[in-house]
Amino acid sequence: MFAPQIKSKIILTALIISSILVVLSAVLIIKVFPDGIKAEIYKSVQLIKGNEQYDRFVELPFPIIFKVYFFNVENVDEIYKGAKPVIKEKGPYAYKQYRRKTILDVNEEEDTISYTQKERFEFDQEASGNFSDEDYITILNAPAISMLQMAEPFNQMAGGLSQCLDDIFPNMSSIFIRVRVKDILFDGVRFCVRHFSSCEVQRTLACNIAANLKNVEKLPDDSLKFSLFGYKSKSDDGIYTVKRGIKDVHSLGQIIRWNNATYTDYWHGLEKNTSTSCDKVQGTDATLYPPYVRKDYIFQIYSTDICRSVEIKFSKEQVYKGIKGYLFTADNTTLRPKTPIKEKDCFCANKTRGIDGKKSCFLDGVIDMEPCTGVNVLLSFPHFLWAAEKYLKGVDGLKPNEDLHSTFLLVEPETGTPLQGLKRIQLNVVLRPIPYAKQTSNLPRAVLPLLWIEEGVSLTDEYIIKLKEMYFNKVAMMDIIKWTLLGASTVLTIIFASFYVHKYRSKN
């Protein structure tokens, strides 16, 4: 007579246990597993000496993409007579860029790490295709034009300098020069060779000024060598202080100081001796981002090459090698003034003379880089993407395309891993007649592109596999466990509940 009663108690106990398992499964799904994965991700991305993230931070285990596209000038003789410049893109000239950091200090209280970094470049023939760094290109003689423009306020000096260009730039005194790619990029083009001549005063003055520019290297015989990027592999670009992400993982990688300062002194606009929003040191170096990225984030990418941050915003979701990412891009507002009145924008340097020969703010899409570089160079996106139409119409041969010429970042949102990211910028020089410089007297007026650069990373298959092992495979395993546990406990609960109901009805 006790057997049915014992069976009922067993079924009820089993029902209670299975119900508890359902509740526990729900807790695991809602709280325990997500928190465990989050803690694992936090630990893996923080800059803690000994983990993989720290090692990758000190030295990237793969090279960064560095591609240069030149704008070869096709109609030099006609330009000297006033014709519109015709240019043709030539490239890519691809290089592998290797970066290594030297750690200077770790401040645990501030949760920061300070370092310098060196870069090394290696020509990549495979990625360059049919192009070789032994190729010759025809471009504007940027050093000569810069010297003439700098001397322009002093009329007689400009005239004397123009007569002495042959002495300062032997074999390359023309406004346009034919030069080898490896020389203009890294190895250098020699000028300011010391010798006695009637141009001694003009040469000495011009060469002393040029010797202080970062693109110029002084040789043992006191002559100079100019290259666009040779300086990048010869010295570091300053001291960075960034957040380690240990106290606050969402601050990971944020640059809070450069050369021990939170503000630079480049971008005062027309307001002298004041710190501005343009001078604020902020953003990341484009290789390190915090986890759990949201679509409403606005990222700042800081570059010492252009002495400023560039803002990118969420654009859309995109898949890269089977992994879903969030695409953040620059847009048509990136190189526009931050205020309704352009003259009040702190990027309005008012240093370089425009195509009309007057100092003023440049139109949308073009930034005067003289405060940053010390020479009259202008920054834009490649092919004058999103720039004022006036610049695009000033030359023939440009075809702006958002897919090919915009700056973007594709990031895996849960781990903050950059799947793909490319910074794209174009360097330009104002082409126009310069008073007292006879070589320029018939030149047309235009902003002439020199080249554009594509720099960034695309995660290799090897690191896609590592990312899957680090995160996605664990998530998949957790999913299998939690749903199996929930499913099994739910099924058991239903079965035991059915038995108990059936037993109850039979009893009555």
Residue 15: predicted pLDDT: 55
How many other C-beta atoms are found inside a 10 Å radius of the C-beta of residue 404?
A: 13
Whether 40 shows a pLDDT value over 80: the answer reads no
3-state secondary structure of 312: strand
Q: Which of 24, 176, 16, 150 is nearest to 87 (CA)?
A: 176
Both tokens of residue 198? 């009637």
Contact, 320 vs 89, CB < 8 A?
no
Task: Tell me the backbone φ, ψ of residue 360, rounded to 5 degrees.
Answer: -165, 180
Is the pLDDT at 504 greater than 50? The verdict is: yes
Residues 121, 233: contact at Cβ < 8 Å?
Answer: yes
pLDDT, position 58: 92
Q: Which residue has the higher pLDDT, 467 or 14?
A: 467
CA distance 85 to 394: 8
- pTM here? 0.86
The residue with greater pLDDT, 90 or 478, is 90
Q: Residue 480: what pLDDT?
A: 58
272-281, 395-404, 489-498, range with the lowest pLDDT: 489-498
- Other CB atoms within a 10 A radius of the CB of residue 339 amount to 12
Task: Scan for tokens 């032997």, then name that residue.
Answer: 170
Q: HSE on the CB side for 305, CA within 13 Å?
A: 20
Residue 90's pLDDT band (cuts 50, 70, 90)? very high
Sequence ranges of the domains in the chain: 3-44+466-507, 63-459
The DSSP result for 361-411, as a single string, is PPPTT-EE-HHHHSS--EEE-GGGTTS-HHHHHTSBS----HHHH--EEEE
Query: Alpha-carbon distance 237 to 259, whole Å?
Result: 9
Confidence of residue 2 (pLDDT cuts 50, 70, 90): very low
Look at 472 and 43; give whichever has higher pLDDT.
43
Paired tokens of 407: 């700056």
**Rounded to the nearest 10 degrees, how much is the dihedral formed by the CA atoms of 337, 259, 99, 472?**
-70
Q: What is the mean pLDDT of residues 237-246?
A: 94
Most confident segment among 133-137, 211-215, 223-227, 261-265: 133-137
Distance CA 449, CA 397 (A): 10
Tell me the helix, strand and coil percentages in the chain, rounded to 5.
35, 30, 35
Dump pLDDT digits (tens) for 379-419: 999 999 999 999 999 999 999 999 999 999 999 998 888 99
Is the CB of residue 299 less than 8 Å from the CB of residue 289?
yes
Q: 463 or 140: whose pLDDT is higher?
A: 140
Element (H, E) at 450: strand 446-458
The position carrying tokens 């893109």 is 89
**C-alpha to C-alpha distance for 301 and 282, rounded to whole angstroms:** 8
To the nearest 10 degrees (0 to 180), the angle between helices 142-151 and 155-163 is: 150
End-to-end CA distance of the chain: 15
Contacts of 358 (CB under 8 A, 6+ apart): none
Compute the distance between CA of residue 221 and CA of residue 405 in angstroms, rounded to an integer: 42
CA-CA-CA-CA torsion sign (284, 288, 289, 290): negative
pLDDT digits (tens, 9 = 90+) for 290-342: 988 999 999 999 999 899 999 999 999 999 988 899 999 999 888 887 666 66
Residue 207 has pLDDT above 90, yes or no: no
Q: Which residues pair with 308 in a beta bridge?
A: 303
Using CA atoms, how far apart are residues 324 and 441, in angstroms rounded to an integer? 56
**Pairing mode of beta strands 323-329, 308-320:** antiparallel
The answer to whether the beta carbons of residues 133 and 159 sit under 8 Å apart is no
Check residue 446 and give its pLDDT: 96
If you average pLDDT over residues 184-194, what whole number do you get?
88
Mean pLDDT of 17-41: 62
Give the whole-angstrom CA distance, residue 117 versus residue 287: 13
Which residues pair with residue 36 across a beta bridge? none
Q: Check residue 155 and give its pLDDT.
A: 65
59-71 in b/e form (b: 16+ CB < 10 A) is ebeebbbbbbbbb
Q: What is the pLDDT of residue 22?
A: 57
The average confidence (pLDDT) of the chain is 84
Residue 321 φ/ψ region, left for φ over 0, alpha for ψ in the -120 to 50 degree band, beta for the rest: left
**How far is residue 192 from each of residues 149, 151, 203, 211, 218, measured CA to CA in Å?**
18, 17, 7, 10, 10
Query: Which residue's entry shows tokens 């695309």?
Result: 458
Q: 469 is written with which tokens?
A: 């092992």
Q: Is the pLDDT of residue 117 over 70?
A: yes
Tokens of 174: 């023309």
DSSP 242-265: EE-SSS-GGGTT-EEEETTBSB-S
pLDDT classification of 1: cutoffs 50, 70, 90: very low
Residue 277 gets which letter from DSSP? G
pLDDT digits (tens, 9 = 90+) for 329-362: 999 888 887 666 666 788 888 889 999 988 888 9
Question: Percentage of the chain surpassing pLDDT 70?
Answer: 81
Q: Are 432 and 355 in contact (CB under 8 A)?
A: yes
Q: Phi-psi region for residue 400, left (φ > 0), alpha (ψ -120 to 50) or beta?
A: beta
